Amino acid sequence: MIRPGIMRTPSDIHSKVCLMIREICISPVAAWVLMGIMVFPLLTGCNREKSRWRLNSPGNLIRVELIRKDLQPSGQLYYSVYVNRGDSVVQLLDPSPLGIVREDGRYIESLEPVSAKMREDVSEEYTLVSGKKLACRSMYNEMELCFKNPEDQQVCIIFRAYDNGIAFRYAFPGNSNQNFRITREVTGFDFGEGSFWGHPYDTVTTWAPAYETYFSGPMAIGTEAPWNKNGWAFPILLESNGSWMLVSEAGFDGSYGACHLQPDCSDGLYTISFPVQDEAMGYYENTSYSTLPWNSPWRFIAVGETLSDIVETSLPTDLSAPSRVDDVSWIRPGRATWSWWSDSDSPQHYSDIIPFIDFAAQMGWEYSLVDANWNHMQNGDIERLAKYAADKNVGLLLWYNSGGIHNVVTEEPRDLMDDRKSRRMEFRRISDMGIRGIKVDFFQSDKQEVIRLYTEILEDAAEFNLLVNFHGCTLPGGWRRTWPNLLTMEAVRGGENYRYDRAFPERAPSHLAIVPYTRNAVGPADYTPGTFSDHNYPHLTTYGFELALTVIIESGIMHYSDTPEKTMELPVFAIDFLREIPVVWDDTRYLAGFPGKDAVIARKSGPRWYIAGINGEDIHKELTFQLPEMDGVPGHFRLIRDGESDRDLQLTGLQVRDGKLTVTMKPFGGFAGYLE
- Candidates 395, 309, 411; CA nearest to 360 is 395
Q: Interhelix angle for 543-552 vs 572-580, to 10°?
A: 10
d(CA 213, CA 229): 10
Distance of CA 97 to the CA centre of its chain: 24
CA distances from 236 to 44, 191, 247, 371 (A): 39, 12, 5, 32
CA distances from 567 to 251, 377, 564, 573, 574 (A): 39, 26, 5, 12, 9
d(CA 195, CA 550): 29
d(CA 508, CA 491): 15
> Is-cis flag, bond preceding 200, omega within 30?
no
Q: Interhelix angle for 572-580 vs 350-363, to 10°?
A: 90
d(CA 374, CA 578): 27
Q: Interhelix angle for 448-463 vs 420-433, to 10°?
A: 30
CB 162 within 8 A of CB 57: yes
CB 651 within 8 A of CB 640: yes
* Catalytic residue list contains 496: yes
β 288-295/165-185 pair status: antiparallel
d(CA 162, CA 171): 20
Q: Give 657's strand partners.
A: 660
DSSP string, 464-489: TT-EEEE-S-----SHHHH-TTEEEE
Torsion angle of alpha carbons 544, 550, 554, 558, nearest 10°?
Answer: 150
d(CA 430, CA 463): 13
Which of the residues 446, 496, 526, 546 is marked catalytic?
496
Which of the residues 441, 490, 562, 642 is marked catalytic?
441
Q: Residue ranges of the alpha helices (H) in 553-626? A: 564-567, 572-580
What number of other Cβ atoms are within 10 A of residue 440's Cβ? 24
d(CA 150, CA 268): 31
d(CA 119, CA 58): 11
The DSSP H or E segment spanning 506 is: helix 504-512
* Catalytic residue list contains 441: yes
Distance of CA 224 to the CA centre of its chain: 23
SS (H, E, C) 253-277: CCCCCCCEECCCCHHHEEEEECCCC
Distance of CA 151 to the CA centre of its chain: 38
**What residues act catalytically?**
441, 496
